[in-house]
A and B are shown apart, each in its own frame.
Chain A
Amino acid sequence: MAIRTDVVRLYRQVHTWTGILTGLILFVCFYAGALTMFKEPLERWITPPVAVTPATLDRAEELVAATRALRPEVRDFTLAVGPALAGEVPLRLTWTEERFDPAPWAATLAPDGSVAVEQLNPSGIGLLVDFLHRTVGIPGDLDIGTTVTGIASALYVVALVSGVIILLPSLVKDFLVLRVTRNVKRLWLDAHNVLGLISLPFHIVIALSAVVFGLHDHIYDTLDRVVYGGQMRAVAASSSPFRTVSKDMSPAGMLPPKEFLTRVHSLAPGFQPVSLEYHDAGTGAATVRVWGHDPRYLVRREGFVLMGAVDGRIIDTEYMPGHQNGWSATVSAFFALHFGSFGGGIVRWSYFLLGLAGAALFYTGNLLWIESRRRTERQAKGRSAVGPVEQSRATRLLAAGTVGVCLGCVAGLSLTIAAGKWLSGLVDDLHAWHWGIYYAVFLGACAWAFLRGASRAGVELLWASAVATAAIPATSLLGLVMPGLWLSDGLIGVDLVALAGALAFAAMARSAERRAQTGPRDSVWAAAVGHPKSEMGMQPLAHPAE
């Protein structure tokens, strides 16, 4: 496809700058995002096993009534159905005091019919990867972090469009060609292009939806003023699933939990209920949201049907897979395409791999800029120049930042996951420990990278990432022999994936080491200047024929 060369040149600059500004932020978003696909297994991998017999729902009604009697002020709570039936958790009611509460309360039923209320202390690794994915780990208010990722995602959309424009002219010639030659930049460019093109639809979907997730508050505010004349709240309220629910707060009895499941089953036999979320329980306005999955439809993480808790009537199906109107179904599809919450395991694994590939795309993007800067600086010095070219400050800083941020994120996540199993039961607030370990490793890696320089820190941090990731399966192996540790039942996948990751990082460390020794001496990746091999036997770098 013919595109004017000045247009291509212009968009190459757009692509470079949007990429440089967002690459590191997006790396963290993608790497943590890939892990969010498996946050439940990760959480269970860290949690000590307790003998839970798969529950029947026969005693659920008794549990609700007893909890209501003990804690009448708690009117909003959740009864996990799927995980209790599967024997993953005991039959219990849980509630939180704020929206993102790492330590929810739980009420369980003793055999004698009495209720025990305790505060749960889950490892919180699921919350950690989720927050990291949304905020890049920017501390403080969630809104600040999500706004930053929203803006980065907007630039990422522009980077995608410009990337496609600059690839179009050479698409047929270059597509899926990986040129493994002495020319390292060519190799990185080919890898970057292949990764980008293969996963382009995924990236478009993720980029656009991430902008929405990051900036929706601001967009809604503008729409309210410009489009809805200040009446947007009323418009939104008239779409709420609760719009027809009465305000009746007088005491009223509720149907048993099993009854709701029976009615949902007759409404949608393919729907797999996961939990019952009660609202205003024990009053005339009491409602139950039956949350669940239906892999045949594109829905948000989970869909729900809203029912009256007193009479069991179906109140709203706007969030129920297969029962939505066109607008809801379309928006739900956008959510599902971002979360990968459709199609079951195959899509989940694909999203995991696409997420990792995305992280690699941003990593290679930064490497490309660094490589091309090196060439520019060589040209600036004159083509005849042989021997090392002094790298500019910007190149050195970006190289160190790339190594520190990306590998700090990788090593920090791996180590905090592995540490979760060691610390579980030993510390009071495991969630806080998870964050502490992550930040310590991440910030330490960044500091290390700037102190040591990209070439040495790159190799060292890759080894550190390999070791930290290998600590995950090693912890499980030790669980076979060491008291206090354990092998998590049915979660061998976590250990195998981590092992594969550790091997991959080790291989990357080896190749970075080789490059530092034998690669071009004027590269930021070369071992420190003054190395005995530096001037001997080195050919001047071949210039790419462009």
Chain B
Amino acid sequence: MTDASSARHTQAPIRPDWWSKSVAGVVLGFSLAIAMSGLFAWIGPGGPAAVNKLQFIMWLVVPIWLGVASVCFLFRSGRQAWLWLGCANILAHTALLAARSPLLH
């Protein structure tokens, strides 16, 4: 099974890195989901105080978080997962801070 297909591989195989990737997916995935939902809360329609939007924002966290946690095993290595998700987090949280900053309102 492996002999035939491995010849076709030009890319390096994915390293499992179970612990590293799992922790990255769960922790960085969660903080990314919080930042992205928060961003939608502040710059999405209605602003953060729209009636019952808060509940929608909370529901939004879960699919983003677990979506990231599910696909993060596709990263070539645990290092890559931390690197990419870390950068995405920095971007998203910076944007959230900017959206919350009174200078922009």
Interface residues of A (CB under 8 A from B): 4-7, 10-11, 13-14, 154, 157-158, 161-162, 208, 211-212, 215-216, 219-220, 222-223, 226-229, 232, 235-236, 238-239, 318, 325, 327-328, 330-331, 334, 546
Contact = CB atoms under 8 A, between A and B. Distances in A.
Given A6-B14, A7-B14, A327-B53, 13 more contacts: A7-B74, A10-B16, A161-B71, A219-B61, A222-B34, A226-B35, A226-B38, A227-B48, A227-B57, A229-B100, A327-B50, A328-B52, A331-B56
A208 B56 contact: no
B34 A226 contact: yes
Given A10-B16, A229-B100, A235 B54 contact: yes
A53 B35 CA distance: 57
Given A10-B14, A228-B48, A546-B1, A162 B96 contact: no
A227 B52 contact: no
Contact of A330 (B30, B56, B66, B73): B56
Interface string B29-54: 01000110110011000101111111
Contacts of B5: 5
**A-B pairs with the 3 shortest C-beta distances?**
A227-B38, A161-B70, A157-B66
Q: Pick the most buried of B14, B35, B58, B100: most chain A CB atoms within 10 A of its CB.
A: B58
A331 B52 contact: yes
A108 to B, nearest CB: 37
Nearest to A162: B70
Interface in B55-105: 55-59, 61-63, 66-67, 69-71, 73-74, 96, 100
Given A161-B71, A227-B34, A327-B50, A220 B58 contact: yes
B66 A211 contact: yes
Nearest to B40: A227
9 contacts: A7-B14, A10-B14, A13-B16, A212-B59, A219-B61, A220-B58, A228-B41, A327-B56, A328-B51
B78 to A, nearest CB: 12
A211 B37 contact: no
B62 A212 contact: yes
Contact of B9 (A4, A11, A236): A4
A238 B1 CA distance: 61
B47 to A, nearest CB: 10
Contacts of A328: 51-52, 55
B93 to A, nearest CB: 8
Contacts of B74: 7
B54 A325 contact: no
Residues of A contacting B: mostly: helix
A502 B82 CA distance: 52
Contact of B59 (A5, A10, A334, A546): A334
Given A4-B9, A227-B34, A318 B70 contact: no
A208 B63 CA distance: 7
B44 to A, nearest CB: 10
Contacts of B30: 222
Contacts of A215: 62
Contacts of B16: 10, 13
B38 A223 contact: yes
A227 B48 CA distance: 9
B49 A235 contact: yes
Given A5-B5, A10-B73, A223-B38, A327 B14 contact: no
B92 to A, nearest CB: 11
Contacts of A325: 50-52
A208 to B, nearest CB: 6
Nearest to A216: B58
A157 B52 contact: no
A134 B14 CA distance: 38
Given A10-B14, A318-B52, A328-B51, A219 B58 contact: yes
A223 B100 contact: no
A227 B67 CA distance: 20
B52 A223 contact: no
A158 B66 contact: yes
A147 B71 CA distance: 24
A91 B60 CA distance: 42
Contacts of B96: 226-227
A378 B86 CA distance: 44
Given A14-B73, A158-B66, A546-B1, A223 B51 contact: no
B29 to A, nearest CB: 10
Given A223-B38, A318-B51, A158 B1 contact: no
B20 to A, nearest CB: 13
Contacts of A14: 73
Contacts of B34: 219, 222-223, 226-227
A223 B58 contact: yes
A158 B51 contact: no
Contacts of A220: 58
Contact of B49 (A211, A222, A238): A238
Given A6-B13, A10-B16, A208-B62, A223 B57 contact: yes
Nearest to A150: B62
A328 B54 CA distance: 10
B74 to A, nearest CB: 7
Given A11-B73, A13-B16, A327-B56, A227 B37 contact: yes
Contact of A239 (B1, B35, B51, B70): B51
Contacts of A157: 66, 69-70
Contacts of A11: 73
A239 B62 contact: no
Contacts of B41: 227-228
A324 to B, nearest CB: 8
Given A7-B14, A325-B51, A328-B51, A223 B70 contact: no
Contacts of B63: 208
A14 B66 CA distance: 13
B68 to A, nearest CB: 10
